[in-house]
Structure 1
Amino acid sequence: MKSFFSNLKEGYSRLSWQDLVCSAIVALGLLVALLGINGKVSSFLEFLAVVAGVYLAARFIGWWRSRLLWSLRNRLVVVYLFIAVVPILSIVVLVVLAARILYSQLGAYLLYEDIHQRIEMIADIAQHIAIAHKALPSSITEDESERILAAQSAVHDRELPKLKIDFSSDPSLLSKVAGQGQNSFAGLLQEEDSDPPLSLISLRRMEDSNAPRVVVLRVPVTAEFLSTIAPDLGVIQLNLMENYKGAGVLYTSGEKRYRVVPGIVASNRTLQAAMFWFDSPVSVVSPLDSFFVAKDGTVDPARPLLAVSNARPSRLNARIFTSLGELRGTYVILFVLVGIVFLLIEAVAWTTGIVLTRRITRAVADLYQATQFVKAGDFSHRVQMKQRDQLGELGESFNKMTSSISELIEEEAKRRRLENEISIAREVQNQLFPSTLPSVPGVEIEAICRAARSVSGDYYDFIQLSPTHVAIAIADISGKGISAALLMASLQAALRSQALTEGSEYMSTAELVTRLNKHLVRNTGDDRFATFFIAVYDSATRTLRYTNAGHLPSFLICNGSSHLLDKGGMVLGVLEDYVYEQGELQVAPESLLIGYSDGLVEPENVYGEEFGIARLREAAIRVQSAEPSLVAESLMAAAEEWAGTPEQADDMTVIVTRLR
């Protein structure tokens, strides 16, 4: 664990100059706020401190997030939170919000329905009075009939407190609120010159033999009346509205604007006590429409009212489940059981998630600790994995990997030693090739050797036997790599020991090849052999003597024609007493002697066709007048172009000799 000061020092080293400036501004802003300094400069400094604080908070959140999510355990916890907890909380919040909306709408419905039920009641009473009026005998006076009809209101004192029944011969109010030609109206009515201003009213025309009359039933909307409606709700208040033409409109209805005036509050109404801790009240708002009659007789047919109340969800639930009858308890028990099962499933899911998280993070922590041992060079540490799962297999694979690292290091050391040996062999082989060209009048020699591997199996040599004699040799050793290079070194040593003896310029090339064959048979294994071609040219007599021991025939080009040099015998290193043959021919001026290895004629094109000796010879004839170096490069390029790729399957060697 790092100390506090080391952590503080590390955190300070990560701060940029912007962070330092913002920190200083925040400190100055706090100092100004604590000292209570007032003024434009201090206010501007406090504003800058707020902006700088927001910037530092964003920086801290980013730093904290990177540190928090570095650990796999914390990442898994965050994943579980977003996969399990956040959706559940979102669903719970959505359910609670939906429940509160539904409860609010249910409360508004109960309030609206109760008020309109009272309106329907007085409308029914008015209709009964009109019917009863027709049934009365004509001998009863008008005053007696009205007294008898008004006596019916006594049975509705509880639902319609202070119900008042009047009879009028003036139908103007009915015409204003119901419209011309209508015989009845029932609803909420506001009258500007009335006290109280709001009442439930029902108007119905009664046909009389003498003159039409209107029965008027009125229930004043007072605090006492509001206390009798919607008993499942808590406090109830009716907010009245009046026209408003100023700014700050509180309520609009259509194109009209209104503001709230002192309303009517129900008396002796309080919010019921909560039945449990989450039985929080909900707000109930129910808009109501009323007719408004001003002092001057004008009518507003849609003056809004806002009935505001509150309610306990438990009381509303009781109202909802009342209609379930005998099944009410069953539904409640079923709901509780489903909730318990849900909680149990959630608990099991959480427990499973925590256990799996601990297993995963413990396995990853063990693997991380093991990598630290490997980083320190300790390959003996092993991960203890008890799980029989993919993590356990991963730990086992890690143990197998660490156990083989030492072997891999040893193999790497061996490989490096082998590369060093190959490099040494390549240097030795480069020394076996002739470093200087012979100085023979009228002879120009050029050679190119491109190895397919680090060490080539092809060999060529130029040996000056006398001031006018030069030996030209080319060979292809069986195999590749170091073994071929060793056999090449042996062949080169034997060739030079024979060619550099006195009088060797007059030795038959067949005799020289026979001696080389015996040397290879006696000093190499049965599976080792070499193809070999040697030619000795005498510039004084322009005579060329040669022997071809199983090598691809070299050819002599002169004036557009070529002559294959194919006399000799079989490869070297197979039969000890084999007798070779010498070929001899006169060389015309400006002739071109070309020797090559099989790697130059065996490249294949995309159709599987080899480059071949004939195409090599044609390519040489086309450039026969060029310098030997250009001829050699041209032949190499022709073979590579035929293959279409610079990769080589075999060593490629070519010798070009100009005999002037």
Structure 2
Amino acid sequence: MRLRRRVQLLALAFVALIGLDVAFAVRLTVVRDNTTEVVEERLNPARAEVAALLNAFISQETGQRGYIITGRDGQLDVYLNGRRSAARAVEELRRLLAAEPALLGGVEASQAAIARWQEQVAEPEIAAKRSGRVGEAEVLVEAEGTLRLFEQATARIDEVRRGVNVELMQAEEDRDRARSLTTRVLVASLVIALGIAVVTRILITRWFTVPIDDLRRSVAQVAGGDLDHVIESVGPPELEEVADGVEAMRRRILTELGDADRARGALARRGLVVLTLRDELAASKVPLAPGWAVAGRFEPAEGIIAGDWWDVVDLGDGRTALALVDVAGHGAATGVYALRTKQLTMAALREGLGPGEAWSWVQRAMGDTGEQFLTGALVVLDPTTGRCRWSSAGHPDLLLVGSAGDIKHLEATGPVCGSVIPGPWAEAEAMVEPGGFLIAFTDGLIEPRNKAGEEFGADRLTALVRAAASGTADAVADACIAAARRHAAGGFTDDVTLVVLGRSR
């Protein structure tokens, strides 16, 4: 089974388990919240209102008896206040117990019993007392049905109280059970998550870690020089394909190394001068100031010698000079001419000449070169400030890339350098911002054509640089060379040199 399918199935199982767990937890939470709402917002308040109703009824009976005995209006006020409180309690109980028909029936029965006691006992006794019929009032108080009606009303209220307590206990048990189940679900969720993590770890180790480590060790062994070590196919199909690709590369490297050894032997016998030229034209390894990096890429159109060269030189006063030169032509003869221009140019910069003055000095030092000429760019950089002075001798535009990806084209400040066309070569200033780049290249980078005959072109290069500007100098250089190589249908027909000078943010 391919790795993608394995990962999909693992993810599906994970999502299914989590989904079931979440659904169950949500259901329990809803039950818990509903029961909590019943307890806190209905039954607990109802229990308090039942107690208030009983107290209000007892207050009525106390006030009524006190009035009959003492005749004081204050006792009558106690009765009336109790009656109003009882009415309020009944209305509140009707609201709170609307969803409980049995309890609501008990409330109505209690209200009816209270009303009978009021109509048959309290109100007649109070009326007799008010009208001065003391004897009649006393007879009514001592009547046989008086106590029975009072006890019936209190009994009805007590039934409601017991019913509310039963419902409250049941709801609290349901709430506690839901809470307990929720806790168990959370614990089960943690156990499931831990189990998934363990299983995932085991599968990742089996599918990824072990095969990749095996492949890494094999590749490292080959990279360390053991080219005879065979890369074995391991792991899922995708990694097997990678291993097969690396193995094919190893075999191709062995073949190319054999070809290179034979070519090197031929060069050693017939081309020692060519190798020497190549080494002399190669860029020197000059360390840059902290926060700066330079990436150079060179691909000759023919053999290993070209007319292009670039280099960096430390001027000794804290400044750094960057030079890129493109000599017209190819091959060893052009390489000899290019080496001479490099020696003269580096000497001029080390002597402290500015970029424009250096071109003039090189032209004079070269003397009569016939139709031979060169283009190039010289840059003198102050690494501390990022400010640089530059001069371009008929060379393609330099690209000054800002920290936000904006690009400014720095055009040539003078003609090509040769004996046919005199100078002068002006100088200009530019600023390389933190996070920005200064890019120089030869025309071989933008002239390759694809199968449709379209040039790679400066516009395509500019767009590519803008897209890659967030990377390092090496990343920008690699992206440019790779894109130009893909565009070139038949390979590069001219020497290609690219230099990217980058400043960190």
TM-score range, shorter chain: 0.3 to 0.5
Which structure ranks higher in relative contact order (CA pairs < 8 Å, sequence separation ≥ 6)? 2
Question: Which has more radius of gyration?
Answer: 1
More helix by share: 2
More strand by share: 1
Give TM-score scaled by structure 1 length: 0.35
Give TM-score scaled by structure 2 length: 0.45
